[in-house]
Homo-oligomer: A and B are copies of this chain.
Amino acid sequence: MSHHATQLDRAFHALSDPTRRAVVSRLVEGEAPVSILAEPFDMTLPSFAQHIRVLEECGLIVSEKRGRSRWCRLVEEHFEQAADWMQAERRRWNGRMDRLEVYLDKAERDAE
């Protein structure tokens, strides 16, 4: 990611990997230690830690050390920002499809 990347750029970059999406999906349920987050994945802990690092750099999660564990949680604001963008575009798309349908229905009736 370039240094000029916006928060939204970084959030979508974070989500462009299946392991990172699975971690986000797990953190939606609540905070968790890295060791627990890593469990479902067939990869070395350093490889997994790299994904956690990307998620943190992208601002989608934060982590903090508690005793011997590092706990992660989702940064709601940054997740919501990406979700808002998708939702707004989908609404515009659906709006256009609805208008197109009304137009085609009318054209069909006019042709009859």
Contact = CB atoms under 8 A, between A and B. Distances in A.
Interface in A58-112: 74, 76, 79-80, 82-83, 85-87, 89-90, 92-93, 96
A50 interface: no
A15 B76 CA distance: 19
Contacts of A15: 12, 85
Contacts of A9: 16-18
A21 B83 contact: no
14 contacts: A6-B18, A8-B21, A9-B18, A12-B16, A12-B21, A16-B16, A24-B89, A25-B89, A28-B96, A29-B92, A79-B90, A83-B87, A83-B90, A87-B87
